[in-house]
Chains A and B, each alone.
Chain A
Amino acid sequence: MTGHAKALRTSRRSILKGLGAAAIGISLTGTKRSAWAAEEPKLNFYNWDTYIGETTLEDFTEASGIDVNMSLFATNDELFAKLRAGNPGYDVIVPGSEFVERMIQADLLEPLDHAKIPNIKNISPEFMTDAPFDPGRKYSLPYTWLVIGVGYRKSKVKEVPNSWKWLFNSDAYAGRIAVMSDASELFRNCFKYLGQSLNDASPELLKQAEEMLTKQKPNIKAFHEDNGQDLLLSGEVDVVMEYNGDIAQIMKEDDDIDFVVPQEGAMRQQDTLAIPKGAPHPENALKFINFIFEPETGKGITETILYPSPNAAAVALMPEAYRDNKVIFPPADVMAKCEYPNYLGPEFSRLLDEAMTRLRAS
């Protein structure tokens, strides 16, 4: 037998072996999904980093016997890009409200069975009714909420910068300003400054905003990607466009820092819990979501991340310092002017992105 043929024989055998293994693998996956089999006690949770309480996951495992495996993503875009081609095995995800709308339109989410989530009663009612991105909360439930505003260093500003003017249209703080680099967040808050709704999808308004920012660009030190609080803390900038929760976190380390929501109003968001289509353990997912809305769990989470919580029962358990914190819970009159961003369609998204590219290139 020549060496050639021998090589072929062995390779054929190994191919068959490989096929066999693959077949077994596929059949096993098949049985896992079959309806009559109970779900294995596992849960794949796709979350932002440190966006959970210190012991929340262990507490859940203790209470239910389900093992939680938490993986991390850094931006909503990444979450969407990953799920777009098919769910690689996540059970619970934490998308931002704007992305919930996109995902519903793209048919990427499972509807939530509210009957299986009795702890919904712990959520403040306005979050259940006021959710233009997910009417009736069919697909998502609020995990935290946030609002964008101006973080600033008290000793370096002449007065409280409670208007977008100081970031977008003035050289009072030239070279000490940082704004967000996300096109939607940046431009749509400009719309608020220009006196319009941030859901106003008109190209003329966008052009106006772009021109204003292009003029302002020499005064801007950096376009930050969600680390604006670090820039403020380390003294790189004195005024920064950031989320209230991020600023609240660094206020613990530096008394000289404060936060204000501009009087023109700003963009508010929610981070939500949702179940993507194709989740391997949907029942466990529902149990997990229900657990999150327990008052004690909510308290544990909020103590760690210090973001405003929509869980009324949990908020009631938090210390007064948290509930009265004007940064975490800005005053109602200015919150009334804040809006949730709707998904304005692919054409406007394209315009937004091009405007950003032009702005950065100018």
Chain B
Amino acid sequence: MAQKRAPLEYNRMWQIRAWLFAVFFFLYAPLVALIAFSFNDSKRTTVWRGFTLRYYEKLFGNESLLTAFANSLTIAFVATLISLVIGALAAVLLWRYRFMGRTVVEGAFTLPLVVPEICMGVAMLLFFTRVLPWPNNLIWPFNLGSIIIAHVSFCFPFVALVVGARLASFNKEQEEAARDLGANDWQAFRDVLLPHIHPALIAGGLLAFTLSLDDFVITFFTSGPDTVTFPVKVYSMLRFSVTPEVNAASTMLILLTIVLMVVMMAMQSRAQKKTKG
């Protein structure tokens, strides 16, 4: 008799496996093409002409592209961190407390999701030139401040939403029990809530990082002469078409991301081992 598969082992079902495979293929096929074309011996990325490494050489010599890279990464990191804090606080606020004007606050937190990007970009432009002028001569990284602020504004609702969904399934009684046992609010938060929303923070943080890294419209309107980011640089190449140099840059970005994630996961598993052991 064939061995009965355990009921919850969905991943053994061939349908699920086939589905996963198809989805990953769909996601990665264009990327493989992208990486392949970074070795294309032609100024265009649409027709293959031969193998070359010269675009990688060009990339490492292209200071402005590398600076734009660095700017994008910095902005994404800082904006993600701030978004996590503000987003988590927003989610906890709405979940835990009942107060006057609660629906209005909830609405205000959801609004950034709904605003068309270009509208927000123009709003930020007007704000930072007319209402709160951001000085132009700050040294790095403070000159990225206006961009970071704008990014946090549209990223944190995503974090709040993901954390909120997670909190919705949390049993309040656990937290109240902790408090009855003598913990104060901060301890209850740190030792009971935080571990629970941990996966949501990771998911939300990833989402925020992605959004920030890729943002073009809002960044365009809030950036100045010294603060070019990677998407802005790439988008401005549109007029003369995307050269393989940009593909090379993206390949490097992907590699960098993989390295970062591996490091992060190694650190996380070590931390988990410590708590378990």
Instruction: Assess the B225–A44 pair: CB atoms within 8 A.
Output: yes
Instruction: Report A-chain residues with C-beta under 8 Å of the C-beta of B240.
Output: 48-51, 246, 249
Instruction: Report B-chain residues with C-beta under 8 Å of the C-beta of A85.
Output: 125-126, 129-130
Mask of B29-53 contacts with A, CB within 8 angstroms, 1/0: 0000000000000111011010000
Known contacts A74-B235, A229-B241: does B136 contact A29 (CB below 8 Å)? yes
Query: From A47, which residue of chain B is reached at the shortest CB distance?
Result: B236
Mask of A17-58 contacts with B, CB within 8 angstroms, 1/0: 000001001101100100000000000101011110000000
Contacting A at CB under 8 A, from B220-242, are 220-221, 223-226, 228, 232-233, 235-241
Complex partner residue of B137 from A28, A46, A90, CB under 8 angstroms:
A28
Instruction: Assess the B43–A29 pair: CB atoms within 8 A.
Output: no
Q: Which of A64-72, A156-164, A210-218 lies at the interface with chain B?
A: A64-72
Question: How far is it, in angstroms, between the C-alpha of A280 and the C-alpha of B137 when the chains are bound?
Answer: 11
Known contacts A86-B129, A230-B241: does B44 contact A72 (CB below 8 Å)? no
Instruction: Assess the A89–B225 pair: CB atoms within 8 A.
Output: yes
Known contacts A88-B224, A233-B46: does B122 contact A29 (CB below 8 Å)? no
Query: From B122, which residue of chain A is reached at the shortest CB distance?
Result: A81
Mask of A83-100 contacts with B, CB within 8 angstroms, 1/0: 001101110000000000
Query: How many residues of chain A have a CB within 8 Å of chain B?
Result: 39
Question: How far is it, in angstroms, between the C-alpha of A89 and the C-alpha of B222 when the chains are bound?
Answer: 12
Instruction: Assess the A74–B239 pair: CB atoms within 8 A.
Output: yes
Q: How far is the CB of B56 from chain A (nearest CB, A)?
A: 18
Mask of A229-257 contacts with B, CB within 8 angstroms, 1/0: 11001100000000000100110010000
Query: From A78, which residue of chain B is reached at the shortest CB distance?
Result: B220
Instruction: Report A-chain residues with C-beta under 8 Å of the C-beta of B137.
Output: 25, 28-29, 32
Interface flag for B199 (CB, 8 Å): no
Query: From B136, which residue of chain A is reached at the shortest CB distance?
Result: A89
Complex partner residue of B129 from A26, A32, A88, CB under 8 angstroms:
A88
Instruction: Report B-chain residues with C-beta under 8 Å of the C-beta of A32.
Output: 137
Interface flag for A294 (CB, 8 Å): no
Question: How far is it, in angstroms, between the C-alpha of A114 and the C-alpha of B235 when the chains are bound?
Answer: 34
Q: How far is the CB of B186 from chain A (nearest CB, A)?
A: 11
Instruction: Report B-chain residues with C-beta under 8 Å of the C-beta of A29.
Output: 135-137
Instruction: Report A-chain residues with C-beta under 8 Å of the C-beta of B236.
Output: 48-49, 72-74
Instruction: Assess the B135–A233 pair: CB atoms within 8 A.
Output: no
Question: How far is it, in angstroms, between the C-alpha of A250 and the C-alpha of B47 when the chains are bound?
Answer: 12
Instruction: Assess the A25–B138 pair: CB atoms within 8 A.
Output: yes
Interface flag for B210 (CB, 8 Å): no
Instruction: Report B-chain residues with C-beta under 8 Å of the C-beta of A250.
Output: 44
Question: How far is it, in angstroms, between the C-alpha of A13 and the C-alpha of B269 when the chains are bound?
Answer: 41
Which one of B46, B129, B239 has the highest number of Cβ atoms from chain A below 10 Å of its Cβ? Answer: B239
Question: How far is it, in angstroms, between the C-alpha of A81 and the C-alpha of B236 when the chains are bound?
Answer: 15
Interface flag for B268 (CB, 8 Å): no
Question: How far is it, in angstroms, between the C-alpha of A338 and the C-alpha of B137 when the chains are bound?
Answer: 45
Question: How far is it, in angstroms, between the C-alpha of A63 and the C-alpha of B207 when the chains are bound?
Answer: 47
Instruction: Assess the A72–B228 pair: CB atoms within 8 A.
Output: yes
Instruction: Assess the B46–A234 pair: CB atoms within 8 A.
Output: yes
Interface flag for A360 (CB, 8 Å): no
Instruction: Report A-chain residues with C-beta under 8 Å of the C-beta of B47.
Output: 233-234, 253
Interface flag for B64 (CB, 8 Å): yes
Instruction: Report B-chain residues with C-beta under 8 Å of the C-beta of A353.
Output: none
Which one of B44, B46, B225 has the highest number of Cβ atoms from chain A below 10 Å of its Cβ? Answer: B225
Interface flag for A82 (CB, 8 Å): yes
Instruction: Assess the A74–B46 pair: CB atoms within 8 A.
Output: no
Known contacts A25-B137, A32-B137, A82-B221: does B64 contact A70 (CB below 8 Å)? yes
Q: List 12 additional contacts besides A26-B135, A71-B224; criterion CB under 8 Å.
A: A74-B239, A85-B130, A88-B129, A88-B225, A90-B225, A226-B239, A227-B241, A230-B46, A233-B44, A234-B47, A253-B43, A253-B47
Q: Name 13 A/B residue pairs within 8 A (Cβ), A-sorted.
A: A29-B136, A44-B226, A46-B225, A48-B239, A48-B240, A71-B223, A71-B225, A82-B125, A82-B220, A86-B130, A89-B136, A226-B238, A234-B44
Q: Which residues of B contact A (CB under 8 A)?
A: 42-44, 46-47, 49, 64, 122, 125-126, 129-130, 135-138, 220-221, 223-226, 228, 232-233, 235-241
